[in-house]
């Protein structure tokens, strides 16, 4: 983060948070798929669900700070709609 411009620091912090949460979701879901213990599986999937909420929180904050991100998300959504109908 030392190389990030001061005006972009908060956006980069939020993006790093999103990345960390997505990694956590993948880890917990993979562990849930690997275990045969239903109690452990249930807990891991519940934790993964909480991490998805965290992604939403970080993304909501990011979208308040980054107008370009909002625009590009909308563009991506339009492209998917055009390609998939």
Q: Per-domain residue ranges for the chain?
A: 7-84
Residues 6+ apart with CB under 8 A from 51: 21, 22, 24, 25, 28
What is d(CA 18, CA 56) in angstroms, rounded to the nearest whole number?
Answer: 8
What is d(CA 41, CA 36) in angstroms, rounded to the nearest whole number?
Answer: 7
Instruction: Answer whether residue 1 shows pLDDT above 70.
Output: no
pTM of the predicted structure, to 2 decimals: 0.88
Q: What is the pLDDT of residues 29-72, one digit of tens each?
A: 999 999 999 999 999 999 999 999 999 999 999 999 999 999 99
- Residue 58: closest CA among 79, 66, 32: 66
What is d(CA 43, CA 32) in angstroms, rounded to the nearest whole number?
Answer: 8
Q: What is the pLDDT of residues 10-20, one digit of tens each?
A: 999 999 999 99
């Amino acid at each position: 983060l030392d190389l990030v411009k001061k005006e972009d620091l908060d956006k980069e912090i939020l993006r790093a948070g999103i990345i960390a949460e997505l990694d956590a979701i993948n880890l917990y879901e993979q562990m849930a798929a690997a275990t045969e213990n239903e109690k452990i599986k249930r807990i891991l999937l519940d934790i993964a669900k909480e991490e998805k909420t965290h992604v939403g929180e970080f993304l909501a904050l990011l979208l308040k700070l980054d107008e370009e991100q909002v625009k590009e998300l909308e563009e991506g959504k339009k492209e998917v709609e055009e390609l998939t109908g």
